[in-house]
Amino acid sequence: MSSPKGYLSAISTTLKRFARYGDAAGFRSYVRSDAFLDAFNGLNPERRHSAMLVYAEAHAMCEAKTRLRLATPVALNARTSVKLANWRDPAMLAKLAEAYARSNDHEGAARLLGVIVGAARLAKRRYLDFASDSGAKRLVEGSQAANPFPGAPVGLDLRDRPVRRS
């Protein structure tokens, strides 16, 4: 594989193989690997466009053939009950924790839960990370992460302030 044409054929063959089997995790790991980067950097600049076209085509085929597909995003004007999962429900919280235990990234957890990647990431941040001891301890102690305004009083209750009436 000393010629740029050989690099293109190696990239396209590998990407199409992952797409044929619907191996989304393998597809992502190959694209992030040093082997892909070396082959892509070995291409002539005019052949890189072809490689990106092969990537887009293979990515679409891989998503179509994968066993656990990502959920399609719901329209912004849809009803709230259609858009959202109730993560406060103990059963859903247990599913969320199990999905993150079984997968190693947000996309894998989203595939297991049947939600979009952003919803899984936000639910983890709000309900799993916050529920951990370190998250609760940070909030109680009033650290920099919990209080973005250093020097301001933590836990200020606005009802205790005098009201100005004119």
Q: How far is CA 83 from CA 98, 104, 114, in A?
A: 21, 25, 12
- Residue 44, classed as helix, strand or coil, is coil
Alpha-carbon distance values, 21 to 26, 58, 63, 142 (Å): 10, 11, 10, 50
Tens-binned pLDDT, residue by residue, of the chain (166 aa): 556 567 888 899 999 999 888 888 888 889 999 999 989 998 888 889 999 999 999 988 888 887 766 666 554 455 555 556 778 888 888 888 988 998 878 888 888 888 888 888 888 988 888 766 454 444 444 444 454 555 545 554 444 555 555 5
Residue 115, pLDDT score: 83
Q: What does the pLDDT read at residue 76?
A: 46
Nearest CA to 106 among 94, 124, 90?
124
What would the DSSP string read from start to end of 114-141?
TS-HHHHHHHIIIIIITTSHHHHHHHHH
pLDDT at 140: 43
Using a 10 angstrom Cβ sphere, with 0-12 exposed, 13-18 middle and 19 or more buried, the burial of residue 161 is exposed
End-to-end distance of the chain based on CA atoms, in angstroms? 82
Q: Where are the domains of the chain?
A: 4-65, 80-141
Taken in order 135, 138, 89, 124, is the CA torsion positive or negative? Answer: negative
